[in-house]
């Protein structure tokens, strides 16, 4: 069922504190929408708080990353997918552009993270997207194809990908409808050719999604949801985006 709704997921990034989170989570508890599957990716220390407050809600809680290392061991500072599952997580973002940029995460490491997530029954949401320079030089499809190649040989029936053009993240600049439609169609086509015709796909658009542009973005063909940064930090703004989820 969730694989046939639009996914409206929030990425808190490195934001929050226990008091603000409590208010935000309480505000989200009552939010629902027949067409939307809702999730939030919290910083690691707040995951358990979110799981607790949202315990009897259908809202998914997840993290923004997981370790490339499996289970446990001498990896100071790392958090394994096993631990995330143990704390009640449902999903994990993999390869967000900020991790690719600041931590130089590339396919080899990202594939380990995807494998660890899946081994622990967490849904990985693979984030892809080109920089402005790459788009200006006409490389956007090639870049995204290379990022999607991390899925080669993966044996799953369902896959979730977030298309987040780097130049649209946190900038207030949203990709236009033609750019979004073309890239989402390309991602669907690529995934079907990599993973086989029977795979069920969710492609979320991310990058400056807000209450004012959500309706237009969510109505674009092959946009199966949104990954929301800044606007997911306020319950009313996030709820207003959720209210625009479309029947597919
Ligand atoms: P903004 O919505 O703040 O642009 O962030 C998008 C994003 O990076 C979500 O993962």
pLDDT tens track for 38-67: 999 999 999 999 999 999 999 999 999 999
Architecture of domain 2-242: Alpha-Beta Barrel (3.20)
Name the pLDDT band for 1 (thresholds 50, 70, 90): confident
| Residue-level pLDDT at 32 | 80
DSSP codes of every residue in 17-69: -HHHHHHHHHHHHT---TTEEEEEEE-GGGHHHHHHHTTTSS-EEEES---SS
User: CB of 170 closer than 6 A to ligand 1?
Assistant: yes
**Ranges of each domain in the chain:** 2-242
CA of 237 to the centre of ligand 1 (A): 14
User: CB of 65 closer than 6 A to ligand 1?
Assistant: no
Distance of CA 36 to the CA centre of its chain: 14
With a CB cutoff of 8 Å and minimum separation 6, the contacts of 237 are: 210, 211, 231
- Active site members: 96, 164
- Indicate whether 105 pLDDT > 90: yes
Beta strands in the chain (DSSP E): 6-11, 36-42, 60-63, 91-94, 123-128, 158-163, 200-206, 225-228
Instruction: Please give the model's pTM, rounded to 2 decimal places.
Output: 0.97
CA of 93 to the centre of ligand 1 (A): 12
For the stretch 125-141, pLDDT in tens is 999 999 999 999 999 99
Q: How far apart are CA 90 and CA 150, in angstroms?
A: 21
Residue 102 token pair: 């600041």
Q: How far apart are CA 67 and CA 97, in angstroms?
A: 16
For the stretch 172-214, pLDDT in tens is 999 999 999 999 999 999 999 999 999 999 999 999 999 999 9
């Amino acid at each position: 069922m969730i694989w046939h709704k639009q996914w409206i997921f929030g990425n808190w990034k490195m934001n929050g504190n226990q008091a603000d989170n409590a208010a935000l989570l309480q505000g989200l508890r009552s939010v629902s929408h027949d067409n939307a599957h809702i999730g939030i990716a919290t910083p690691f220390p707040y995951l358990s708080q979110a799981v607790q407050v949202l315990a009897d809600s259908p809202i998914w809680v997840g993290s923004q990353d997981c370790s490339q290392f499996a289970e446990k061991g001498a990896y100071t500072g790392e958090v394994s997918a096993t631990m995330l599952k143990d704390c009640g997580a449902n999903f994990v973002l993999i390869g967000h552009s900020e991790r690719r940029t600041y931590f130089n995460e590339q396919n080899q490491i990202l594939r380990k993270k995807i494998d660890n997530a899946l081994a622990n029954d967490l849904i990985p949401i693979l984030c892809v997207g080109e920089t402005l320079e790459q788009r200006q030089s006409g490389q956007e499809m090639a870049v995204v194809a290379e990022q999607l190649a991390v899925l080669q040989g993966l044996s799953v029936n369902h896959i979730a990908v977030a298309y987040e053009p780097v130049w649209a993240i946190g900038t207030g600049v949203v990709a236009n409808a033609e750019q979004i439609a073309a890239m989402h169609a390309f991602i669907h086509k690529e995934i079907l050719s990599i993973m086989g015709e029977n795979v069920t796909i969710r492609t979320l658009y991310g990058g400056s999604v807000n209450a004012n542009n959500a309706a237009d973005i969510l109505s674009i063909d092959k946009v199966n949801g949104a990954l929301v940064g800044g606007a997911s930090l306020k319950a009313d703004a996030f709820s207003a985006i959720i209210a625009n989820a479309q029947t597919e």
